[in-house]
Structures are given as structure tokens and as C-alpha cells.
Structure 1
Amino acid sequence: MKKVHAVLAAAIAMGFSACKSDSDKVNPDDLTDGNSTYVLALTADGSASESTDYILQTKDLMTGVLSPVGQGIEQKSYRMYEQIGKTLLSITYQGTNVVPGYTLNQAGLLTKKNGEFSILRLHARNPINDSLMVGMYVPRDGTAEATVYEINANQMKVTREAKVNVFQAAGNGKEWAYFNDARVIGNKLWAPFFQIKNSSFETAYADTAYVAVYSYPGLKLEKVLKDARTGAIGVYAGNDALSLTENGDMYTYSPTAIASGSAPTTKPSAVMRIKNGTTEFDKDYFFNIEQVTGGYKIASMKYVGSGKALAQIYSFKDHTAADKWTTRDVRLAVLDLNAKTVAYVTDVPLHTGGMKYSSIVENGNVYIQIKNNDGVFIYKVDIAAAKGTKGAQVQGKSVMGFFKMSK
């Protein structure tokens, strides 16, 4: 049997091993490093239309092969994942889905929690704290209301469900708001959005950035932030449009790139700031990514601390209709949000974009999935040095979720 670092978590939890030989039985120490472990949600190789997700754990990301073959806890259908404190939620990308949760038992093994709950698919979501999550289901068929959920992951139940009017947020009587992130900070829910007029995501309002601000938990629309210096914030279901820093400032990014699904616009790709204690874009701050990079657009951004963010920046300038939604051929770069500089990361190849749920920030490094025609690999990125190191190979189509969990 080929040795891999990720092991059969589901079978271990029931007292079995993947192979019959006693010598092949798994030692929990092979999975955990003290009280913690890495958990990956992988989509296994399959046909173009059919494949299976698995969640599995490992303590070594930098050597060997991480494989779902004959291993891990199988998930039903295409999934999204969210870590709330010590619970990992597995959320089906279906119209209506039943959500299980997973946690580490006393031996450090990934096990299913008691209880499940039902919700609609979530297009915008983020933890509120170590027990609660906010999530939004957003219709794209002209239905007037989006559904907002508050979920208690410790109790595995929906604690609150409410509605917000998507036409009210858009405010033009013609199109509606399509929220792509949701953050509860204090007594406000911040929800960036782009506008759409049909299910094909067409819009006449691509030239402005929008963030709706609601009271929380009351969900009264208090304000819509607008800024015409750039285009729509974030990407469809990206959940990474708002980056919260140590001092409470928030940063947004606008791809304005067809390859990210953005509607065509002449506005530059950029990063903007909302200062702590305000409900306005900072008029004195504008990080024009295209100007600094010589014409290239940002695909995604993950805040990593101390004023730095890891970004994916497209390696090509001319985006065509054929590029839509592909997020192809991006480069990793470290953004200094204060100095407004871009440092490309060395020793990391071009790859497919999207990284919030396929990366982990730890001790000044970011572990990230790098996926291209050569396969899927884990890379460790030293933020201070802007340098990457190739790690374990992932046997599968992609990493759908990537988390550090503790007992």
C-alpha cells in the first residue's frame, strides 16, 4: 500500500483501519501535532460531471501525497466548508441542504457531531465568533428577498432566520443586489454586493463599488456605501470581499476582471479602505492595482496580518468573454496595504485563482493550494520574504477547504 500522510479518519473514529494488516493500522499521533491537525476537503478525481468530496486530516503538509483514495470521510455532493471555532460545517451547494458538522474527539480524530440542520445554499457567509456564523442565501431570479441565517455551530442549529429586500439595497428600481460576503461586526452586518438584472449576471451598474450596511440583529438597512473610483467588490460567493485588520479597519478589493466574472467596466482594479468607526470609503485611500503592476488586475486577496495581504494577480491584461469565470493564470503577490506596494512571490507557478478556503495563515506563512496543469500541490509562502516552497502533492481535482483545527 502506498503510504500517504492523510489517513482514514472516518474508519479510525469507529476503531477500524484502512488496511487489514495490524502494521497498517493508523496511530493517532500520525494525524495530530499536539492538540491540532490540518483538515482538507478534497474533490477526488472523477468524470467532468461527477466526483466526490472527502474531508481528511494530516499533520504534514510539505511532503508526500495527500489522497482521498480509500481514505477520509465521504461527503454527499458538491460542498462548501466553513470553520466556526472548533466545528467544521459541510454545506451542500444545493437549493436546500442538510448540514453536518465535524470536530476533533479527545484522541484528535475527526468525527461527526450530533445533530444536523437544514438551510438554503449560502452565497455569503462568515463566522461571527467561535460559535456563531451568519449566512445569506441570495436569489438571482428576481425574487425580492434574500434569506439571512444565524447558525450556532456548537448546538448545530439555526438560531435565527430573517429576510432582507435585495431591490431596496440596489436602490435603482431596476436591478437587485447580489451579496457575495457577510460580516457581523458589533451591531452591524456588512454585505458587499454587485448588481444584476438577470440570472446571467448582466448589469448596467458595473462602474461602482457597493456595500450594504444593516443593523444587527435587527437587519434594518442603514446605509449603502458607494464609490465610483472602481467597480464591484469581490467575486460570486467569494466570501473574501471584506478584510478586517487588527485595528478594525476594513479593506475591499475590486477585480473589475472578466476572468473573475465581473461585468465589463473601464474602472481600474483596486483596493479600498473603510476606516474603523466610519461607514464610508476612505476618500484619502485608493490602492490602484493596475497602476502599480503596469496594467494587471487582482483576482483575490487574503489579509495575513501586520498590514500585509496575499493576493492573486492575473498574469495577462486582455480579458475576453472566453475568460469569464476561469480565474486562470494568476500570480501570487504580497500586498503592503499601507505602502501600496506589490511584491510578486518567487518560486510559485501560475495557477488558477481563488484562495480564501484553500489557504491557512500560520506563523508568518501561508499554506495554499496551487492548482494548474501540473496538478494540485500545497505551497508554503513566506510572507516576509515573498518566497514560496513546494510541499505535498494533492491527489484529486482541487482543495475545496483547508483548515487548522484543534481539540
Structure 2
Amino acid sequence: MKKRVFSTFAFAMIFGALSVTSCSTDDNSTPTPEEGGTDGGNKIEWKYVIGASASKTNLLLTTNDLKSGEISAKGNGLTALGTTVYTYGGNRAYVFEYRKGDPSGMQSWLLTPAGKLSKHTTVDLPTREEFITNFGKYMIATTGGVQLTTGQKAQAFNFIDGNSGGIKYTSYVNVENIAEKGEYANFAGLETIGNDRFVMAIEPFKITKDDKEDNTSAYRDRAWLAVFKFDESATDVNKKVVLEKVVKSDKMSFAVARYRSSRVSTIGKAGDGNVYLFSPNATNGDGVSFSSKPSAVIKFDSKKGDFDNNYYFNLEQISGTKVYKAFAIGGDYFLLNMFVSPSKASNMAAANKLAVFNVVTGDFKWIEGLPAANDIAAAGAPFVDGKEVFLPITAESKSFVYSLDATAAKATKGLEIKDLADGSIGTIGKINVEK
């Protein structure tokens, strides 16, 4: 079945998010052997891989120390398609590109035995990518804004062989009338929950006759989570990903944020295996909130496959502002990017006021040791390395990697990335190679 992508959906890479990223820290964590240590009797060479932008150039830089020292972008690093780094299997780094249209570019990188970064593959994907995560032997890269030849809107799921970097197949799932009748779903966030299943949050829109008609949803006070099942045995490629069910909660508004036309993940999987959904309840340019429900967090019980009706925290009441991004950083802790002002929580508003939130106890702490929120130009997705958490921060034209003590909510300045001009640090990964 032939597919095409709406030209009106010009989505940028997100990442966490991005986004992150929007990837689970559990799925993206990598082995952390000591330099010169052993793994099965073989010596291991490893590097942190740092994505960074220097003016209009995307670079990958490498180091063995994120806690001290400095690296200059001048004369160092390798040019790459993007600055958001994903890892697979502990020994491969991936970056994805947004080209303002299809297809999207993807690169995979390996370490040589000498510890040098080497480009392994460069391929074109059939669609642009927004949310990416590890899923068994695959990496799932997915995007919305796709229209089938039937006229229905759909979500595209690309399954990438994590070891080779090749595309195994692409599956398309209808997104119309799945959460509410007369509405279609935009998805954000991507978390695995075991048993060949993964979940994504839904941002609702009214189905309209054309782009001129107002598509504002009639369900602004509700949150949804879509549960997908992967069936590799299905012979029809479009039945390999099945929308198993959509669960709903009226405790808060939808758990999706926005950066320009792109969707931003506000969900994450904690150490208990459950998925936590954070509602931004953003405002428009006049400071009017989209929903009557405050910015809050609810829990999806991964074992029961439904929301926990007894779980709820009003983050707006606790913090005095609204959440913009949420990242699982190990155990019960989440890193939250909060809007500087709750009345200025609109698309692209300042949201670099950082906090640590314990999803079990509800303990909320503003992070100490960082530059003032108004001085932070970019706060990249956190990188979790075992029990250590690192935050890429660009403030007042300087870029540092900070170490975060999540329990105390205290940050310590570490590695400086110099000579980025008007650029910033993207995200960080870690890969290794047997010598």
C-alpha cells in the first residue's frame, strides 16, 4: 500500500526527547567497564560519545572523562548527521537526521580497537523520525503525519536491525478514531513495557475536512496512553504492529509537549517498570491554559496494563509552575524541565528550570549548582551511566557537562566543551569495543 507524508507536518528531531529523547534510560544504558578492564577475559576500549553543534556543523566528540577537563570543537570530532546520540548493544552509536522532508538520514558509528570513532553505515529511512528506542534486536524509529492511500492518517514504525543498521521493515498503523470518535491521535514518547509491547502517549485532534478548519480537540481534560503489540510472525507487514488498546484517565490533560510543530515526550519508565505520564497543560500566547486540569503526573501500571487510579500528584501546586519535559534518570527519580513562568508556558517559552522528582514519594526539589534558569540557553537530555547522571548544559555561551546527585538534587560542573560558537551540547552516549 503506497504511503505519503503530509507536507504540513514538518517535524524536527526531538530528544527524553529530544526528546528524548524520548527513550527510556533503561533501554539506553550501556555497559560501564573500567578503562583497561575486562569483559569475558577480553580487554575493553570505551568512549563517551558527545553530540554537539558548532554553529551549523554537527559533531561527534569522544572522551573518557565527563567530570573534568575540556574538549575543543576546533580540530576535533567527526561531522555527523545529528547531535542526538542513541546507543545499541553497548557497541554502536546511532544518529538521525531531519531533512525537512522524506527520507530521514541515519548513521551508525563504531569504535576501532584504538578507541577511534568510525562511521559504519549511512542509510535513508522511508520516513522522518521523531521517537526512537531499543526494542530487542531492533531499534524502533517512529513518526506521525503519514497518510495512507485510503486517506486515513497513520503512524509509521521503522524497525532497524540494531547490529547492522539496516531497515528490516516499516509498519503503518491507523490513528483515526482510536482514542475518541471523530478525533485522530498524534503520538509522543516511546517506552517498552515487556512482552513484545510498547506504549506511546496521545495528543488528540479533531478530524476535519481540510487544513483550514479548526482541529482543536473536544477532549482537552483527558490523558491517553496507547498500548502496541509487536507480532513479528505476521506475514502482512502492516500487522506486525498492532494497536492493542488505548487507556484513558480524566485526572489530567494529555501528556505531550510541543516545540514548534514537533511533539516532545513527557513520559518515562521508572525503575519499578511502570510508566509515568506528565501533563504540561501548556498555555497559549495569551497565557490561557489549554486544559482546566493542572500540570500533573499519573502512573500506568505496566503489569496490569492500565492506569493506577490511586496515583496522582499535582505538579503545578507542588512546584508553582508547569512541566515541559520529563526524563527517567534511574530508580524512582525523574529529571523535570519546568517552565520558568506558569503563565508563559506556551510553545518555545523558556523551560530550563530544572528539578528532580521522586515518583514514589512525590518529593520535588529544584536542582542546586546550575546557572540561573534565565541564563540557560539549552539543557540537553540527561545521560545515565549506571548510577551516575550527567546533564549537558549551555549557558552564557559556555557548555558544560554537569554531574547530578539525584537524591540531593545537586549538580557539579564537569567537562567543558569549548568553541561551539552559538551551538550547544546535544546528548551523550557510551560505546565500547573489544581490543
Where on the TM-score scale, by shorter chain, does this alignment land: which range? 0.7 to 0.9
1:183 aligns with 2:191: yes
Indicate conservation of the 8 Å contact 1:132/1:151, yes or no. Answer: yes
> Amino acid of the residue matched to residue 242 of structure 1?
I
Task: For residue 178 of structure 2, give the secondary structure of its aligned residue in structure 1.
Answer: helix
Label 1:406 to 1:240 Cα distance change in 2 as closer, same or farther (>3 A): farther
Q: What is the correspondence of 1:235-384 to structure 2 with a 5 Å cutoff?
A: 235-236=257-258, 240-258=265-283, 264-293=290-319, 295-319=320-344, 323-326=346-349, 328-349=350-371, 350=373, 351-352=376-377, 355-356=380-381, 359-384=382-407
Label 1:259 to 1:332 Cα distance change in 2 as closer, same or farther (>3 A): farther
**1:38, CA displacement in angstroms?**
1.0
1:214 aligns with 2:228: yes
1:388 aligns with 2:411: yes
> Amino acid of the residue matched to residue 270 of structure 2?
T
Q: What is the correspondence of 1:44-193 to structure 2 with a 5 Å cutoff?
A: 44-45=54-55, 51-76=56-81, 80-85=84-89, 86-94=91-99, 95-114=102-121, 116-129=123-136, 131-139=137-145, 144-173=153-182, 175-184=183-192, 185-193=194-202
Q: Give distance in 2, aligned partners of 1:258 and 1:398.
A: 27
- Percent identity between the two aligned chains: 23
**1:316, CA displacement in angstroms?**
1.7
Indicate conservation of the 8 Å contact 2:272/2:332, yes or no. Answer: no
> Amino acid of the residue matched to residue 133 of structure 1?
M
Deviates more, 1:300-309 or 1:146-155: 300-309
**1:201, CA displacement in angstroms?**
8.1
Q: Deviations over 1:184-221 (max 9, x none)?
A: 43222312121235699854433221111122123222
Q: Deviations over 1:107-161 (max 9, x none)?
A: 22211114635331112221113x4111212107885122111111212111121
Task: For residue 235 of structure 1, give the secondary structure of its aligned residue in structure 2.
Answer: strand
Task: For residue 189 of structure 2, give the secondary structure of its aligned residue in structure 1.
Answer: coil
Higher RCO (CA-CA < 8 Å; seq separation 6+): 2
Q: Give distance in 1, aligned partners of 2:428 and 2:249.
A: 33
Indicate conservation of the 8 Å contact 2:175/2:186, yes or no. Answer: yes
Q: Give distance in 1, aligned partners of 2:71 and 2:64.
A: 11
Alignment partner, residue 50 of structure 2: 40
Task: For residue 257 of structure 2, give the secondary structure of its aligned residue in structure 1.
Answer: coil
Indicate conservation of the 8 Å contact 1:256/1:262, yes or no. Answer: no
Q: TM-score, normalised by structure 1?
A: 0.80
> Amino acid of the residue matched to residue 162 of structure 1?
S
> Amino acid of the residue matched to residue 401 of structure 1?
T
Q: Give distance in 2, aligned partners of 1:67 and 1:203.
A: 48
Indicate conservation of the 8 Å contact 1:124/1:238, yes or no. Answer: no
Q: Give distance in 2, aligned partners of 1:143 and 1:204.
A: 20
> Amino acid of the residue matched to residue 188 of structure 1?
R
**1:96, CA displacement in angstroms?**
0.6
Task: For residue 167 of structure 1, give the secondary structure of its aligned residue in structure 2.
Answer: coil
**1:40, CA displacement in angstroms?**
0.8
Indicate conservation of the 8 Å contact 1:125/1:183, yes or no. Answer: no
**1:233, CA displacement in angstroms?**
0.9
Indicate conservation of the 8 Å contact 1:203/1:263, yes or no. Answer: no
Alignment partner, residue 10 of structure 1: none
**1:167, CA displacement in angstroms?**
0.9
Q: Give distance in 1, aligned partners of 2:426 and 2:152.
A: 29
What is the aligned length? 362
The structure that is strand-richer by fraction is: 2
Task: For residue 176 of structure 2, give the secondary structure of its aligned residue in structure 1.
Answer: helix
Q: Deviations over 1:324-366 (max 9, x none)?
A: 223x14322221111111011111121356643xx21235332
Deviates more, 1:199-208 or 1:361-370: 199-208
Q: TM-score, normalised by structure 2?
A: 0.75
Indicate conservation of the 8 Å contact 1:312/1:353, yes or no. Answer: no
Q: Give distance in 1, aligned partners of 2:197 and 2:377.
A: 34
**1:54, CA displacement in angstroms?**
0.9
Give the CA RMSD over aligned residues. Answer: 2.8
Alignment partner, residue 237 of structure 2: none
Indicate conservation of the 8 Å contact 2:393/2:402, yes or no. Answer: yes
> Amino acid of the residue matched to residue 83 of structure 1?
T
Q: Give distance in 2, aligned partners of 1:352 and 1:69.
A: 21
Indicate conservation of the 8 Å contact 1:127/1:183, yes or no. Answer: no
**Unpaired segments ≥5 residues, structure 2:** 1-33, 37-44, 232-239
Label 1:126 to 1:343 Cα distance change in 2 as closer, same or farther (>3 A): same
**1:232, CA displacement in angstroms?**
1.5
Q: Give distance in 2, aligned partners of 1:43 and 1:399.
A: 6
Label 1:152 to 1:301 Cα distance change in 2 as closer, same or farther (>3 A): same
Indicate conservation of the 8 Å contact 1:232/1:262, yes or no. Answer: no
> Amino acid of the residue matched to residue 383 of structure 1?
A
